[in-house]
Chains A and B, each alone.
Chain A
Amino acid sequence: MNEPMIEIHHVFKTYPSQISALSDITIEILSGEFAFVVGPSGSGKSTLLRILCCAERPTDGDVVVDGMEITRPGFKKIHQLRRRMGIVSQDFKFLRDRTVNENVAFALEVTGHTRKEAKSEASEMLRRIGLEEREEDPILALSAGEQQRVAIARALVNSPPLILADEPTGNLDAKMTLDVMRIFSDFNNQGTTIVFATQFTGLIKRFPYRVIQILNGQILNGKKEVVNEIREVKAGE
């Protein structure tokens, strides 16, 4: 029986404008699990992922990630938490004046790798993601889809035990989406826990992983689901 990687207990998130983004969320994701978080735009998927990586604090509730009580008052080990996870966010967060390789290698450099090691490992990851020919190009010279793959490469390059991916295939075509999904699957097969937020239900039909459905900030179900039972949820439904 695997240990829990993520434990979310009765989490609420209300913004100052009184908009409720999450309401009484309770989920447990085990170590080595692949979990899709599915819901329409604005359903609370990104907020949930942002809470998991400490980019936001919940209004109420407890969250434990990789054994760290991240909602404990005075929790200051955010950098240690983030070193244990790879994050793919929707806004990529790149160093705009650097090359593709430098952006990926940066994640290794800040965690103590030498520049040479980092460059070499970044090259290898870019090769796996199919961007080896663009690695010396400026990051801004890449298309949105290519940039998305660079963001994925940067999240995976450290081989972290947990990956939080927020719409990582949003800008990719169908073939590239499948290629990227295979890479995520490979990492998951090696024991990496993956939380994959998406609004495209097509993916979950093709990849039979656990599905957590979220709508209007509430979990519709968080248990192991049969792919065929997933409803096509739409905003405001």
Chain B
Amino acid sequence: MGNLFPNLITIGIIAVSILIFSTFTLLAFNLTSFLKNWEDKIEVIAYLKRGTPSSEVEPLLNKTRLLEGVEIVRYVSPYDAMTFMETKLGGQKNLLQGIQPALLPPSFEIQLKKDYRNSARINEVVTRLREMAQFEEIQYGQEWVETFSALVHILRLTQWILGGLLLIAIVFITSNTLQLTISSRREEIKVMHWVGASPGFIRVPFYVEGLIQGLLGGGLAIFFLFLLHQGLLLHIPPSMQAWLAKVPVLFLPPETIAWIILGGMVLGFFGSFVASMRVLKYK
């Protein structure tokens, strides 16, 4: 009973530390998943110069198809572009009244192979497209992809820096709490030393205690994160719900949960190991 309070404090602190870490993990996981979704849909639009003779379109189309990283190329004529815009505008398509399709530039919609759908490799394709004189402008949402990638990168970095700091904190706290536990059982430990108990026999219960603290702390952290996640989903304003239907806010996958709980157990064990090295020397 005397050990209950320090044990609860340790479990609570481990839970809070892992909750902070796993919140960042969840954020990074969702942003990465969103970025991946977005990257899957990424395509390059290459606008042809006005007045490009139609006889040049077919050879250019073939040349583009042969570029490394290109999967599908579709020619969008000015008329196709007009139809697309009308569809997009729906009820407001009268805004396009008076605009002749000939004013719109023809373009190639280029879908990239899976490996090329990221900000680094997309540039390789774009550079080669820019070398072709028939293209006037190339668009692929470059800034957006780079900013978003940077954001995910920063989040991941924060997650691991914070994780590192929390790791040290958890080891320190577990080790100190276990020292209190060990201290409260010093009489028993002294007798164990006296009657020849092996160091393993004396230390293993404390290692198990550290593992259990880590397991409970990690489990509680995941439970609270799940509650937070569910609470957040329940309180999403209706205006955002339609948007979120396309980009679902995911919870951590089971293997990540398992790794986080396992990480908590390893930290609990390591904390008890440090404590036992400090105070369980054979006397």
Q: Hey, which bits of chain A sit against chain B, CB under 8 A?
A: 55, 76, 78-85, 87, 89, 93-96, 106-107, 110-111, 154
Among A76, A89, A94, A110, point to the contact of B282 (Cβ < 8 A). A76
Decide: B191 and A79 in contact? CB cutoff 8 A.
no
Say yes or no: B187 contacts A79, CB within 8 Å: no
> Chain A: which residue is nearest B188 at the CB level?
A95
5 A-B pairs with CB atoms under 8 Å apart are A76-B282, A94-B191, A106-B191, A107-B196, A154-B195
Residues of chain A lying within 8 A (CB to CB) of residue B279: none
The number of residues on chain B lying at the interface, defined by a beta carbon within 8 Å of a beta carbon of chain A, is 15
Among B33-60, those with CB < 8 Å from A are: none
Number of A-B residue pairs having CB atoms within 8 Å of each other in the complex:
43
| Contact indicator A78/B191 (Cβ below 8 Å) | no
Cross-chain contact A110 with B187 (CB below 8 angstroms): no
B190 at the interface (CB under 8 A from A): yes
* Contact present for B195 and A106 (CB under 8 Å): yes
**Cα-based distance from A82 to B201 in the complex (angstroms):** 14
Q: Which residues from chain B sit less than 8 Å from chain A, CB to CB?
A: 187-188, 190-199, 201, 282-283
Contact of A79 (CB < 8 Å), options: B188, B190, B199:
B199
Neighbouring A residues of B282 by C-beta, 8 Å: 76, 78-79
Of listed A80, A94, A107, residue having the most chain B CB within 10 A: A107
Among B191, B196, B283, the residue within 8 A (CB) of A83 is: B196
| Prevailing SS type, chain B contact patch | helix
Kindly identify which residue among A55, A76, A80, A110 contacts B195, using a CB–CB cutoff of 8 Å: A110
A83: chain B residues at CB < 8 Å are 196
A33 to B194, CA, bound (A): 23
- Whether B187 contacts A96 by the Cβ 8 Å rule is yes
* Interchain CA distance A79-B201 in the complex, whole Å: 11
CB of A110 within 8 A of CB of B197, answer yes
Closest chain B residue to A85 by CB distance? B196
| Residue among B196, B197, B199, B282 with the highest chain A CB neighbour number at 10 A | B196
Docked CA distance A107–B196 (Å)? 8
Q: Knowing A55-B283, A78-B282 touch, does A87 contact B194 (C-beta < 8 A)?
A: yes
With a 10 A CB-CB cut-off, give which of B188, B191, B193, B195 has the most chain A CB atoms.
B195
- Bound CA span A81–B187, Å: 21
When the two chains form their complex, are residues A95 and B196 in contact, meaning their CB atoms are under 8 A apart? no
Contact B196 A82 (CB under 8 A): yes
